[in-house]
Amino acid sequence: MENIADVYVTDYIPTIYTTPCTMRYTQNGKTMEKGIFAERNGVLIIVYNKTQNVLSLVRQFRPSVYLSCIPVEDRKGKIDTVKYPAGLGITLEFCAGLEDKNAPTEQIAREEILEECGYDVPLTRLEKIGTFKNLTETTGARSTFFYCEVTDEMRVTKGGGVDDEIIEVIEMPVEEVLNYARNGYVNSPVNFMYGLYWFLCNKYKPRNQQL
């Protein structure tokens, strides 16, 4: 997971997942120009294992997070991975993925849970929370959030992703997730924090309060 080497920053290389462009327009008589990084829409799933009282999370290396920790003056040539270790770019997140196939959103969410976390979840166990914009200055893609409860019996693989994905599944007790989220610096996306607080407000009951 943290064995990162031969790191270089290059000019952008186009992929099927992202499309950089510039939009020019006139607003209230003023000419505007904005850079846009068009991304595909995605899904995010809060997976709660009620047998173990844990949230099923994923730990992975995010190049964008890693790069943000490196000063501009140190991004030229080969990156010093001793000075800037891979751990700077490793995040803790909920299971998530892109809508990169012609299938209903719920089906994509189900497949992501199986691929990343190893649980075989029937579509009927998926609860849709809502669809939100990943709104920044450069992207306006949307993410559809789901919630599902699983048991140990529903786990059919160890998870960890498919193809070239390098993902570590973390089954973390809810109280430990809360302690992590209380830190002054959280190496997780904003949607992680939203998903966690949604779970706490709408689903979670500490064991001493459960009937």
The CATH code of the domain that includes 155 is 3.90.79.10
Tell me whether residue 6 is in a domain.
Answer: no
Tell me whether residue 62 is in a domain.
Answer: yes
Residue type, 117: C
pLDDT at 37: 84
**pLDDT (tens digit per residue) in 106-124:** 999 999 999 999 999 999 9
**Cα–Cα distance list, 186 to 67, 100, 107, 196, 203 (Å):** 16, 28, 30, 13, 23
- Please, which residues bridge with residue 142 across strands? 133
pLDDT at 101: 85
- Please, which residues bridge with residue 93 across strands? 58
Higher pLDDT, 211 or 198: 198
Query: Is residue 193 very low, low, confident or very high in pLDDT (cuts 50, 70, 90)?
Result: very high
**pLDDT (tens digit per residue) in 145-192:** 999 999 999 999 998 887 777 899 999 999 999 999 998 899 999 999
Tell me whether residue 117 is in a domain.
Answer: yes
Residue 40 has pLDDT above 80, yes or no: yes
And the tokens for 161?
Answer: 């992703």
Domain that holds residue 121: 40-204
Tell me whether residue 12 is in a domain.
Answer: no
Tell me whether residue 108 is in a domain.
Answer: yes
Residue 209 has pLDDT above 60, yes or no: no
Tell me whether residue 26 is in a domain.
Answer: no
Tell me whether residue 210 is in a domain.
Answer: no
